[in-house]
A and B are shown apart, each in its own frame.
Chain A
Amino acid sequence: MSWLHTWAGLVVGWLLFAIFLTGTACYFRPEISAWMHRLAPIALPDQPTQARLAAAWLQAEAPDAVSWLIDVSDGREPVLKVAAGRPHGYVAQRLDPVTGAPEAGPETVGGDFLFYVHFTLIMSDWGRIPGRYLVGICAMIMGVAIVTGVIVHKRIFKDAFTFRPRAAAQRAWLDGHNLLGVMSLPFHLMITWSGLITLMLLYMPWAVDAGYPGARAGYAADLDGIPMVAAPAQPVQPAALTDLGRVVAAASAAWSADGRDILVGRIEVDRPGTTAARLTLTPQDADQLARLPEALVFDGTTGRLIADGRGQGGAVAAVHHTLYGLHLARFAGLPLRWLFFAGGLAGTAMIATGLVLWSVKRRPKTGAGDRARGHRLVDALNIGCLVGLPAAIAGQFLANRLLPADLGGRAELEPAAFYLVWLAFLLAGAWRSDGVGWMRALAAAALLWAAVPVADVLVTGRDPLGALAAGDRVFWGMQLACLVTALMLGRLAMILRARGRRGGAA
Chain B
Amino acid sequence: MPTRTPMEVSIAVAKAVQQADVDVIAAYPITPQTHIVEHLSELVANGELQANFMNVESEHSAISAMVGAAAAGASTFTATSSQGLALMHEILFIASSLRLPIVMVVANRALSGPISIWNDHSDIMAERDIGWIQVFCENGQEAYDSILHAFRVVRDPHVLLPMVVNIDGFNLTHVIEPIYLFDQEELGDYLPEHRQQLKLDIDHPVTMGPVGIPEVYTEAKKQVEDALVNSKQTILAAWQEFARRFGRTYAPIEAYRVEGAKILLMTMGVISRTAMGAVDRLRERGKAVGLIRCRLWRPFPLPEFREAVRQASIIAVVDRHISLGAHSGPVCQEVRSALYTLPNRPQVFGFVLGLGGRDVTVHDFFEIVELSEQYASQGPPASEYTHIGLREV
B partners with A: no
Interface, chain B (partner A; CB < 8 A): none
